[in-house]
Amino acid sequence: MSYERFLADEPVVVTAALTGGIHGKEANPNLPETPKEIGKAAGEVEAAGASVVHVHARRDNGERAFSTERFQAIDEAIRRYTDDVIVQHTTGATQASTEKRHLSLRTDPPPEMASLDMGPLNRYDRLTSENTLATIDALYDEMADRGIKPELEVFNDGHRNEVHGLLERRDLAEPVYATLVFGPGTLTRPRPANFLNAVDDLPEGALFNTLGFGRHQLPFATMGTLFGGNVRVGLEDNVYYRQGELAESNAQLVERVVGIAEELGREVADTSQAREILGL
């Protein structure tokens, strides 16, 4: 059990998921969409204590973008507004071609990290993210070729099996880094017992990141902190600060989990420490 990591005073890495690819300003007008807005949000969360920013791209009309050029513009904006934050691009998508999903890996320079969905999941009534083994392996292979660390996104119990399977097929650099996702639908049910089981079921030596959707963001970030893991918060995953109150910014959500970590006695990793922890 990872509680020993908490007792060992290992710093917690905070990731901010700034915008996502589904809901937009109709859900929360403070959600950043343009490269400049995303860049400024990255600067704000870095100042608040986040060392990693999880990046999706949007078109000018707010719809999801996949082009390398759009990710490049966002990265350049992030570099303008931040000092040394770690950039993590998404490769996830619903009903997008495999080729499009590779485009976020081809910026210059490439991102230090990129997400890698570990299996299929349902989206709304008629949409499914397929994430076949062939897609997972192809995305991983390009990450390996370009020196990008994969962040393995684990949405349910079956995806944890796929983490073990990927380790059998590929030689992942240590430490393996997995984000455990909790929420509705095809995601792992947000129950404390399921959280403990998910942590215990990861490969030996793997580090974990904790992600709770919606109202589950705060309690699961707290559990992740308490049990020696890392945490992800942000407007991609939750547009509210509390019930009925929209979050003012990504930075507001980061500030809250940083305060919780400090109250629990865990140091919050700066970017230098985060790179060492994550093996970047």
The per-residue pLDDT for 58 is: 95
Give the confidence band of 1 by pLDDT, cuts at 50, 70, 90: low
CA-to-CA distance for 144 and 166, rounded, in angstroms?
Answer: 13
Mean pLDDT of 131-150: 96
CATH class of 2-278: alpha beta
This prediction has a pTM of: 0.95
CA proximity to 22, closest of 240, 238, 241:
238
Nearest to 139 by CA among 187, 106, 184, 161: 106
The answer to whether residues 62 and 25 touch, using CB atoms and an 8 Å cutoff, is yes
State mean pLDDT over 224-236: 96
Q: Residue 72: in which H helix or E strand, if any?
A: helix 68-81
Maximal CA-CA distance, the chain: 47
Structure tokens at 65: 């973008």
Tell me what the pLDDT averaged over the chain comes to. Answer: 94
Average pLDDT over residues 118-136: 84
Domain ranges of the chain: 2-278
- Say what the pLDDT of residue 7 is: 75
Integer Cα distance of 210 and 206 in angstroms:
13
